[in-house]
Structure 1
Amino acid sequence: MTSATAPDTGLVRPVNLALATWVSAINFWAWNMIGPLSTTYAGDLRLSSTEASILVATPILVGAIGRVAVGALTDRYGGRVMFIAISLASIPPVLAVGAAGAAGSYPMLVVFGFFLGIAGTIFAVGIPFANNWYEPARRGFATGVFGMGMVGTALSAFFTPRFVRWFGLFPAHIIVAAALAATAVLCIVVMRNSPEFTPNTDPVVPKLKAAAKLGVTWEMSALYAIVFGGFVAFSNYLPTYIKHIYGFSPVDAGARTAAFALAAVLARPVGGALSDRIAPKYVVLASFAGTALMAFIAVFQPPPDVWSAATFITLAVFLGVGTGGVFAWVARRAPAKSVGSVTGIVAAAGGLGGYFPPLVMGATYNAADNNYTIGLLLLVATALLAFFYTAIRLHAHEPQPKEAST
């Protein structure tokens, strides 16, 4: 047994799961550094709705695509090494984005925001890491708890605007960079891989090709693109939406966005735990039905603060339950040795699902009537299509597929 693995005794397993969740949270915070400040940048730099949406969406794109490679690398090197590597690699982009924002340069913000997406790849590390620590019957719970690391988006939405107001723009980014460094050190000292982890030393590209041959990979990718993509999109774009529709300040909009993100985070382990007890298919169906309903209600712009809050928080709950349900389904259906590779592709699809909605919302915003009707109705239609696809095409219970040949 190497120093990077540890026996499952006492508190070792829950401590490692809790630490993995924290690593995810701080990296999600870093990944979402631009979103809570998007209205500030838009005002200071006089950005159009489209320019602001591009700024918000750029880190999402890289965080999505990078998950494919990171998932495969996790199969080879284990979660401990990858958690440390990504936390350290995210520090320079965080500082660079802060410097670009302080300099008032839109092109530099977009370029450095591209590299900020590195932090968003963290999700593809945690799912196989959690799976290795827990037996199949509890993997829905384990992946749901790890998924609570999405709380980093809530932390960013709530604290980032306040840190900027209290300490200044660049110092706020220094604080997050320091938290990433401290997290990496904590992983070096405390974190261990599960004794069940066996490095998969097969070449990465053939391994990804093998995962891509599995039907489960693309079926789960389609579902996750909607539920996780919806969460990411709203977590990043909601400050802009709230400012346009309700006229709140960046700090107030951030607080409301934090409530949305927190609701989704708390709902994720519920979706995972429910999927340990009933077929994940039914959890996912409930998520799509609820998402369609709440998005349709949002079209009518419920008045602030109680009705609008109830609408978006309920939407967040349905999206959060869906994310937990989909990944519990992945854990059941993906071949054991390909969980990291399949997870990477599915997680990438979720990130890509979050990349396009901010662009669509920015492009379809009706400035004359101050509404996002078209964008919200597109979400309704997408959720309904996913509902019927899941209900008709996917089976509630099916055997785990064999490894695809490379």
Structure 2
Amino acid sequence: MTAPTTARKRGRWIEHWDPEDETFWREGGRRVARRNLLFSVLSEHIGFSVWTLWSVMVLFMGPEYGVDPAGKFFLISMATLVGAVVRVPYTFAVARFGGRNWTVISAMFLLLPTVAAFVVMEPGTSYTTFMVVAMLTGIGGGNFASSMTNINSFFPLREKGWALGMNAGGGNIGVPVVQLVGLAVIGIAGAGHPRIVLGIYIPLIVAAALCSALRMDNLAPVRNDTGAAKEAVRDAHTWIMSFLYVGTFGSFIGYSFAFGLVLQTQFGRTPLQAASLTFLGPLLGSLVRPVGGRLADRHGGARITLWNFAAMAAATLLVVVASVMESLPVFLVGFTALFVLSGLGNGSTYKMIPGIFRAKAVARGMGDEDASAYGRRLSGAAMGLIGAVGALGGLAINLAFRQSFETGGTGTAAFLCFLAFYAACFGVTWAVYLRRRPSTVPVAGGEGDGTGHDPAAGTGQGGAEAGPGRGEEREPAFAEV
């Protein structure tokens, strides 16, 4: 098997790509994939910083801006909403334009909200203008979807947990980095100079686009597949994983946007005090995401996800207790734990997606190569939808905080809602992916082998088959994905 072959086709295009072939992977595939991963992380990292820009900008908005806490929560909610919606078209743009080409284009798009914010960020600007500019930053959230779809195609299944965790974790770090930049500006220049933050990011965006253009590749075998998209939409597992991703990534991005405002509103912190604390949780949650992916590679994503939701519920309960006690130290411990656990869960849930579709393919009788191709095809289509729905969880968190503070003056009611949701996620993970069941069960989403049995129910770790219709009780189908 030869190393990847590249041909010119309006850019850097690789015509042959087979990462599941170990010889191909060893003789050049791994090197190319990791190079693309590195520069994908760079672009996605800045995309996250731009997406969460207004979690920092609101800290600069003192009384002279005339925006109350509820208005600030609504500003960041709109950025979250747009970031969730654009993830769907960004997913399919990879196959339409090429992963490298779209990374360059999407990086350059980030100049629009950054330059716009640079122009309007001053007292006297209307709230409507702030709202429009905050919504523009949402395009930074789309970079995650296209980046994950692209990197998913580069790596073999056995390394997807690590690769997707590194890609997403490196991108997620853009959240604490922009918050640290904001902290430095507030500490050195004061809260009256938000344009310095924006001025730092404009040249970084240009640099990321140039690096992507020079060092990344497009994969010719990746093409828009409307059949895969339709099949992913019809498959129940796409929506089940979307629900679980709301609990992990939705929590991460929602808390990242809201943390500083919660500290200011509930605990009376100054902008500098809030900024000095807000970066730590997102930083730890980002750094630990590859760990979640690696743990999922070793022990099964479903198992890691299950106990992660249990721990998130416990951390939320601690935050509720701290809110009632009005104890900032205890609150910080609980909230930081939520960030760490959401990062772990991000890695484990994303590892599950390609494994689920591959397991279903193996159970239908496909060989390893065909099953791996099917898993890449369906998971690539599903990831955009799952990422979009998951990001909507961040919108729900911000709106819940807005309502909680508006009616009760604290975030306690919102945290109680989050606690109930994590309990529901725990139950769904166990019931769908870990509960022992007979090998003959109805098909999720109406798919099957013509016998009315779930094709995935006969697969365990690595997709070992136990033909449908035997009626024997065995390890659940997806326990190892």
* Fold shared by both chains (TM-score > 0.5): yes
Which range moves more in the overlay, 40-49 or 244-253?
A: 40-49
Counterparts of residues 50-69 of structure 1 (less than 5 Å): 50-69=70-89
1:160 aligns with 2:182: yes
Task: Give the Å deviation of 1:317.
Answer: 1.3
| Aligned equivalent of 2:385 | 345
Q: 8 Å contact 1:77–1:199 — kept in the other structure?
A: no
- Note the C-alpha offset of 1:327: 0.3
For 2:221 and 2:338, how far apart are their aligned partners in 1? 39
Distance 1:252 1:19, change over 3 A: farther
Structure 1 Cα separation of the partners of residues 183 and 175 of structure 2: 13
Moved more, 265-274 or 36-45: 36-45
What's 1:311 paired with? 334
Alpha carbons of structure 1 residues 373 and 252: separation in structure 2 relative to 1, 3 Å: same
* Structure-2 separation of matches of 1:315 and 1:293: 9
1:111 paired to 2:132: yes
Instruction: Please tell me whether residue 185 in structure 1 is matched to residue 207 in structure 2.
Output: no
CA distance in 2, matches of 1:270, 1:229: 19
Please, which moves more after superposition, 343-352 or 325-334?
A: 325-334
Distance in 2 of aligned mates of 1:318 and 1:392: 21
- Post-superposition CA distance 1:104-148 (Å, at most 9, x none): 332111112112111110111122222222211110000000111
Task: Please give the residue correspondences for 1:118-137 in structure 2 after superposition, counting only pairs within 5 Å.
Answer: 118-137=139-158
**Structure 1: gaps spanning 5 or more residues:** 401-406
1:151 aligns with 2:151: no
Query: What is the root-mean-square deviation in Å for CA atoms of aligned residues?
Result: 2.3
Cα separation, 1, equivalents of 2:239 and 2:419: 22
What's the secondary structure of 1:2's corresponding residue? strand
CA distance in 1, matches of 2:134, 2:234: 32
CA distance, structure 2, for counterparts of residue 9 and residue 68 of structure 1:
28
Structure 1 residue matching 2:138: 3-state secondary structure = helix
Runs of at least 5 residues in structure 2 that lack an aligned partner in the other structure: 1-5, 15-26, 358-374, 436-455, 464-481
Aligned residue identity for 1:199: V
Is 1:378 the counterpart of 2:417? The answer is: yes
Q: Following superposition of structure 1 onto structure 2, how do residues 54-93 of structure 1 map, counting pairs within 5 Å?
A: 54-93=74-113
Distance 2:64 2:77 in 1: 19
Query: 2:402 corresponds to which letter in structure 1?
Result: G
Aligned residue among 37, 55, 62 for 1:17 = 37
1:257 equivalent to 2:296? Answer: no
What residue is the counterpart of 2:195 in the other structure? 170
Deviations along 1:310-333, one digit per CA (max 9) or x if unpaired, are 222211111111110110001212
Aligned length: 395
Distance 1:251 1:25, change over 3 A: farther
23 and 239 in structure 1: CA distance in 2 versus 1, 3 angstrom threshold: same
Deviation for aligned residue 1:245: 2.6
Aligned to 2:444: none
> What residue number does 1:328 align with?
351
TM-score, normalisation: structure 1: 0.90
Which amino acid counterpart does residue 348 of structure 2 have in structure 1? G
Q: 1:222 aligns with which of 232, 240, 243?
A: 243
Over residues 128-173 of structure 1, what are the superposed CA-to-partner deviations in whole Å (9 max), with x where a residue is unaligned? 2222222111100000001111000001112124336639322421
Which letter does structure 2 place at the counterpart of 1:190?
R
**Aligned partner of 1:376: which letter?**
F
How has the CA–CA distance of structure 1 residues 246 and 201 changed in structure 2, closer, same or farther, with 3 Å as cutoff? Answer: closer
The answer for the alignment partner of 1:403 in structure 2 is: none
Name the aligned partner's letter for residue 197 of structure 2: A
Question: Residue 169 of structure 1 aligns to which amino acid in structure 2?
Answer: P
Which secondary structure does the structure 2 equivalent of 1:248 belong to?
A: coil
Quote the residue 2:52 is aligned against: 32
Q: State whether residues 149 and 384 of structure 2, in contact with CA within 8 Å, keep that contact through their aligned partners in structure 1.
A: no
Q: Which residue of structure 2 aligns with residue 359 of structure 1? A: 399
2:28 aligned with 1:8, yes or no? yes
Q: Residues 58-84 of structure 1: CA distance to partner in whole angstroms, max 9, x if unpaired?
A: 111111011111112223333212211
1:191-242 deviation digits (Å, cap 9, x = unpaired): 2245xx5131445xx6533321122211110100111011101100000111
TM-superposed CA distance for 1:93, in Å, is 1.2
Contact 1:287–1:321, Cα closer than 8 Å, also in 2: yes
- Specify the code of the residue in structure 2 equivalent to 1:134: F
* Larger RCO: 1 or 2 (CA < 8 Å, sep 6+): 1
Amino acid at match of 1:2: A
Q: 1:95 touches 1:170 (CA, 8 Å); kept in 2?
A: no
Which has the larger displacement, 384-393 or 167-176?
167-176
CA–CA separation in structure 1 for the residues paired with 2:337 and 2:119: 37
Letter matched to residue 229 of structure 1:
G
**Tell me, what secondary structure is at the counterpart of 2:28?**
coil
Asked which structure has the greater CA Rg, the reply is 2
Cα gap change, 1:276 to 1:61, in 2 (>3 Å): same
Structure holding more helix per residue = 1
Structure 1 residues 166 and 5, CA gap change in structure 2 (3 angstroms): farther
1:273 paired with 2:294, answer yes
Q: What is the CA–CA distance in structure 1 between the aligned matches of 2:183 and 2:114, rounded to whole Å?
A: 15
Instruction: Please state how far the C-alpha of 1:367 moved relative to its aligned partner.
Output: 7.1
**% same residue:** 23
Q: Distance in 1 between matches of 2:278 and 2:99?
A: 30
The answer to whether the 8 A contact 1:75-1:338 is kept is no
**Does structure 1 conserve the Cα–Cα contact (< 8 Å) formed by 2:161 and 2:294?**
yes
Rounded Cα–Cα distance in structure 2 between residues aligned with 1:23 and 1:172: 18
